[in-house]
Structure 1
Amino acid sequence: MLKRLKKKKTEVRALGQYVTLSADKARRVIDQIRGRSYEETLMILELMPYRACYPIFKLVYSAAANASYDLGSDEANLRIIKAQVNEGTNVKKFKPRARGRSYAIKRTTCHITIVVKDISLDEYEEIDSLKNPRWEKKTMVYHNVSSSGVVWDKK
Structure 2
Amino acid sequence: MGQSANPRRLTDDSAMAKARMLRASPQKLNLVAQSIRGKSVERALNELEFSRKRIAKDVKKVLESAIANAENNHDLDIDALVVDQAFVGKNLVMKRYKPRARGRMGKILKPFAEITIVVREQEEAA
- Using the TM superposition, give the Cα deviation of residue 80 of structure 1 relative to its aligned residue in structure 2, in angstroms: 0.5
Deviation string 1:59-78 (CA, Å, 9 cap, x unpaired) is: 00000011111112232111
Q: Say whether residues 1:56 and 2:59 are aligned partners.
A: yes
SS at match of 1:59: helix
Q: SS where residue 60 of structure 1 aligns?
A: helix
Aligned residue for 1:66? 69
What is the aligned length?
115
Establish whether residue 84 from structure 1 lines up as the match of residue 87 from structure 2. yes
| Structure index of larger Rg | 1
* TM-score, scaled relative to structure 1: 0.65
In structure 1, how many angstroms separate the alpha carbons of the residues matched to 2:50 and 2:73? 29
Displacement of 1:110 after TM fit? 0.8
Say if 2:21 and 2:114, in contact at 8 Å, map to a contact too. Answer: yes
The residue correspondences of 1:72-151 to structure 2 (distance < 5 A) are 72-94=75-97, 103-120=106-123
Whichever structure has more helix as a proportion of its residues is 2
Shift in Å, 1:40: 0.5
Which whole-Å CA distance do the structure 2 matches of 1:76 and 1:93 have between them? 46
1:32, CA displacement in angstroms? 1.1
> What are structure 1's unaligned runs of at least 5 residues?
1-6, 122-155
TM-score (norm 2): 0.79
Question: Is 2:32 aligned against 1:29?
Answer: yes
Q: Deviations over 1:27-76 (max 9, x none)?
A: 11111110000100010101111112111101000000111111122321
Post-superposition offset of 1:91: 1.3
- Opposite residue 107 of structure 1, the aligned amino acid is K
| Conservation of the 8 A alpha-carbon contact between 2:13 and 2:76 | no
Residue 105 of structure 1: CA displacement?
A: 2.7
- Paired with 2:98 and 2:17, the residues of 1 have a C-alpha distance of 35
RMSD: 2.3
